[in-house]
């Protein structure tokens, strides 16, 4: 018999009397981060709470142990930290004064979401939700723990290239799309699909995790939101009333882009004013035209221009005849294509203005009114460029023929499309301009790796996105020998700093000093909590303690202004002594009914927007 007293509270394996787990290294006397449930708390007389896995503005996720079924589980606790607190003397949540109605509304959303998810059984790409319970003044969802699982982001980062080919991506992600279609039919919109919320189990299957209530997936919601930059659609930043299946389609398109290209997409708020989302030339050459077409349609900024349903996107990504209802916005590149393809957005950039709350507002109505005029302007510009390129090509051809003739057949050196001048017989090359390009695009391109060796130097940068080149040790257009080593300085993105875990409980002045010394700006908010905290004591921070945030970003401190009174409530405790039986065998997994994706057929181009038909 295995006693739960001998279980590691981090991996739920039996470790006997050991003080440190030999499997995961967890120390048995490790304290839980406040204000979350202490380890070995029992929920609903059945679920033993283990180590905290993750937390956000909506709640917390713990690894746990099902005492009845004797197996590890994950426990999701509804704990909106902006409107509820947990003191050191009680486990029951305390709702802040004036927030009772909001807490009740969000708690009801939590119960409805997870109850709906618990009714789905046998979907291969969905976590298995086993129970929804209430305890300690809030609600909990219980679902199966994925042993040895890694996120899609971790999986991609561990690969040699940072990306996978289309055939592998299709095997990984198409079941996700099928499951999303089933969820949408039940009225469930995820709103948080990203490489961090997709888990790959030991069986090689990807499962959707990271579910959250809709109130936590909008930047202007009344509780702290969690959006994933690059994967959140523009409507989640304040486009009220326009979220739907197309919101998940944008996120799925962004995940597919990251999986195929190897870099995170640019955030939607940046694309509104300066769209630089590109498919590098080597990928445009290798990917099927219908896949790029599907990406283009899924990643449109405005919801009404975007692919609207999972069925439509699946048809586009499988080149199904269903997708042949309209023309394509993209044509297949020539085999010699090496230049990047900018994903064309149907909408045009608009000015972003700040309001009193420093939120962004987007003038969508003005955007739509300008589309027709901008479309005509683009067509005129396109024709002019084509004419100029044709004339230039003719002149270039004449020049090459003339030089060849005058030199009696000696081959004349030419610049290739990537800017590297290659001599016909020599061993020297010209260094291209790598600045502004993706690290993956440069260091994995055979055209560059055959001429140069690369070393990488990482540094933080506010100017370039993570993974893009800031500087190079040898300036472009410098003639060097083949095999020369070039040091590429690559951006790690904005520098991130972790909010100290012990910031709560300090005086406001001390917390202010610590945070400002770390580079944060601090905003003070006040509430009165007599009997629980000392005057001027920091109750909580937003973002929460332990989170990594951009250096220079704002941290909101909630400060107690009430008098000190001794608490009258006794601490809540719980105990258990369950028997242990071997874990139950997993039952065979069912496949998604009627949702198998269609194999590749002949390429079919799709476009359902008139202004791009030409």
Q: pTM value?
A: 0.59
The DSSP string of 402-471 is HHHHHTTTPPPPEE-TTS-EE-SS-SEEEPP--TTSBHHHHHT-HHHHTTEEEEEEEE--SSS-TTBEEE
**Structure confidence by residue, pLDDT tens digits, 371-427:** 445 555 655 666 666 677 777 777 777 776 655 554 444 333 434 444 433 333 458
What percent of the chain has pLDDT above 70?
75
Residue 317 DSSP SS3: helix
Q: Is the peptide bond before 528 cis (omega within 30 degrees of 0)?
A: no
Q: Is the pLDDT of residue 327 over 70?
A: no
Q: Which of 408, 402, 299, 381 is nearest to 343 (CA)?
A: 299
Integer Cα distance of 165 and 545 in angstroms: 39
Integer Cα distance of 301 and 319 in angstroms: 23
**Structure confidence by residue, pLDDT tens digits, 109-165:** 999 999 999 999 888 899 999 999 999 999 999 999 999 899 999 999 999 899 999
**Structure confidence by residue, pLDDT tens digits, 184-226:** 999 999 999 999 999 999 999 999 999 999 999 988 778 999 9
> For residue 60, what are the β-bridge partners?
55, 77
Q: How many Cβ atoms are within 10 Å of 417's Cβ, its own excluded?
A: 11
Integer Cα distance of 247 and 303 in angstroms: 7
Q: In degrees rounded to 5, what are phi and psi of residue 58?
A: -90, -35
The DSSP string of 467-478 is TBEEEESS-TT-
CATH number of the structural domain 31-144 = 3.30.200.20
Integer Cα distance of 602 and 68 in angstroms: 53
Integer Cα distance of 523 and 501 in angstroms: 18
Determine the average pLDDT of the residues in 441-447: 82
For residue 361, what pLDDT is reported?
41
For residue 546, what pLDDT is reported?
77
For residue 492, what pLDDT is reported?
83
For residue 239, what pLDDT is reported?
59
CATH number of the structural domain 150-351+597-612 = 1.10.510.10
pLDDT band for 614, please (50, 70, 90 cuts).
Answer: very low
For residue 400, what pLDDT is reported?
61
**Is the CB of residue 273 less than 8 Å from the CB of residue 350?**
yes
Determine the average pLDDT of the residues in 478-496: 90
**Is the CB of residue 403 less than 8 Å from the CB of residue 410?**
no
DSSP state of 5: G
Residue with tokens 């007389």: 45
For residue 233, what pLDDT is reported?
95
Sheet of strand 414-415: strand arrangement: 414-415, 421-422, 428-430, 479-481
Question: What is 419-491's CATH topology?
Answer: Trypsin Inhibitor V; Chain A (3.30.10)
**Is the CB of residue 210 less than 8 Å from the CB of residue 56?**
no
Q: Is the alpha carbon torsion for 179, 286, 432, 330 positive or negative? A: negative
Question: What is 496-560's CATH topology?
Answer: Trypsin Inhibitor V; Chain A (3.30.10)
Intervals of CATH 3.30.200.20 along the chain: 31-144
As to burial, measured by CB atoms within 10 angstroms (0-12 exposed, 13-18 middle, 19+ buried), residue 402 is exposed
Instruction: Collect all residues with Cβ–Cβ distance below 8 Å to 488 and sequence separation of at least 6.
Output: 434, 439, 442, 443, 454, 455, 456, 457, 469, 471, 472, 473
Instruction: Collect all residues with Cβ–Cβ distance below 8 Å to 272 and sequence separation of at least 6.
Output: 234, 301, 349, 350, 352, 362
**Is the CB of residue 519 less than 8 Å from the CB of residue 552?**
yes
Intervals of CATH 3.30.10.20 along the chain: 419-491, 496-560
For residue 410, what pLDDT is reported?
39
For residue 58, what pLDDT is reported?
95
Q: Nearest-5° angle of CA 354, CA 359, CA 365? A: 70
For residue 589, what pLDDT is reported?
42
Residue 147 DSSP SS3: coil
Q: Is the alpha carbon torsion for 377, 382, 387, 389 positive or negative? A: positive
Which is it for strands 47-55 and 59-66: parallel, antiparallel or unpaired? antiparallel
For residue 222, what pLDDT is reported?
80
Least confident of 5-9, 117-121, 507-511, 576-580: 576-580
* Top-confidence residue, 318 or 22: 22
For residue 332, what pLDDT is reported?
40
Q: Is the peptide bond before 543 cis (omega within 30 degrees of 0)?
A: yes
User: How many residues are there in the chain?
Assistant: 614
Q: Is the pLDDT of residue 337 over 50?
A: no
Mean pLDDT (the chain, rounded)? 80
Integer Cα distance of 503 and 505 in angstroms: 6
Integer Cα distance of 30 and 8 in angstroms: 11
């Amino acid at each position: 018999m295995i006693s739960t007293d001998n279980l590691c509270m981090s991996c739920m394996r039996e470790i006997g009397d050991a003080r440190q787990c030999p499997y995961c290294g967890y120390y048995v006397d490790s304290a839980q981060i406040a204000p979350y449930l202490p380890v070995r708390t029992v929920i609903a007389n059945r679920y033993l709470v283990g180590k905290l896995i993750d937390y956000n503005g909506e709640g917390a996720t713990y690894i746990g142990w099902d005492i009845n079924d004797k197996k590890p589980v994950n426990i999701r606790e509804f704990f909106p930290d902006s409107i509820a607190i947990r003191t050191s003397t009680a486990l029951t949540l305390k709702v802040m004064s004036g927030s009772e109605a909001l807490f009740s509304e969000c708690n009801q959303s939590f119960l409805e979401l997870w109850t709906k998810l618990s009714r789905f059984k046998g979907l291969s790409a969905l976590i298995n939700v086993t129970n929804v319970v209430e305890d300690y003044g809030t609600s909990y969802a219980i679902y199966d723990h994925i042993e040895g699982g890694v996120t899609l982001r971790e999986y991609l980062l561990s690969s040699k290239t940072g990306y996978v080919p289309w055939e592998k991506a299709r095997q990984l992600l198409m079941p996700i799309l099928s499951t999303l279609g089933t969820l949408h039919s039940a009225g469930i919109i995820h709103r948080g699909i990203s490489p961090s919320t997709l888990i790959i189990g030991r069986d090689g299957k990807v499962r959707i995790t990271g579910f959250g209530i809709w109130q936590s997936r909008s930047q202007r919601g009344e509780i702290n939101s969690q959006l994933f930059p690059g994967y959140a659609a523009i409507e989640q930043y304040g486009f009220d009333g326009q979220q739907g299946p197309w919101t998940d389609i944008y996120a799925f398109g962004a995940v597919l882009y990251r999986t195929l290209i190897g870099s995170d997409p640019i955030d939607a708020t940046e694309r509104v004013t300066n769209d630089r989302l590109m498919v590098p030339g080597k990928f445009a050459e290798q990917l099927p035209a219908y896949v790029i077409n599907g990406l283009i349609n899924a990643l449109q900024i405005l919801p009404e221009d975007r692919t609207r349903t999972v069925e439509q996107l699946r048809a586009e990504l499988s080149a199904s005849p269903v997708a042949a209802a309209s023309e394509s916005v993209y044509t297949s590149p020539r085999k010699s294509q090496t230049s990047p393809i900018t994903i064309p957005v149907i909408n045009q950039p608009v000015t972003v203005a700040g309001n009193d709350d420093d939120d962004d507002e987007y003038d969508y109505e003005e955007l739509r009114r300008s589309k027709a005029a901008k479309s005509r302007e683009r067509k005129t510009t396109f024709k002019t460029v084509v004419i100029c390129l044709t004339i230039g090509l003719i002149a270039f051809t004449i020049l090459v023929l003339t030089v060849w003739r005058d030199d009696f057949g000696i081959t004349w050196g030419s610049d290739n499309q990537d800017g590297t001048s290659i001599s016909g017989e020599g061993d020297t090359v010209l260094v291209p301009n790598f600045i502004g390009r993706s690290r993956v695009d440069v260091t994995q391109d055979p055209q560059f790796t055959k001429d140069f060796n690369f070393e990488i130097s990482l540094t933080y940068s506010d100017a370039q996105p993570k993974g893009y080149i800031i500087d190079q040790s040898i300036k472009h257009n410098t003639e060097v020998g083949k095999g020369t080593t070039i040091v590429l300085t690559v951006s790690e993105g904005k520098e991130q700093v972790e909010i100290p875990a012990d910031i709560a409980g300090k005086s406001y002045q001390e917390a202010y000093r610590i945070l400002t010394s770390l580079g944060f700006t601090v905003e003070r908010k006040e509430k009165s909590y007599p009997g629980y905290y000392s005057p001027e004591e920091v109750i909580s921070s937003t973002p929460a303690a332990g989170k990594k945030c951009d250096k220079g970003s704002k941290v909101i401190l909630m400060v107690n202004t009430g008098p000190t009174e001794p608490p009258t409530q006794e601490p809540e405790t719980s105990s258990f002594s369950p028997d242990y039986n071997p874990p139950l065998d997993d039952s065979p997994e069912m496949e998604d009914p009627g949702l198998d994706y269609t194999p590749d057929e002949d390429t079919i181009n799709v476009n359902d927007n008139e202004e791009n038909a030409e």
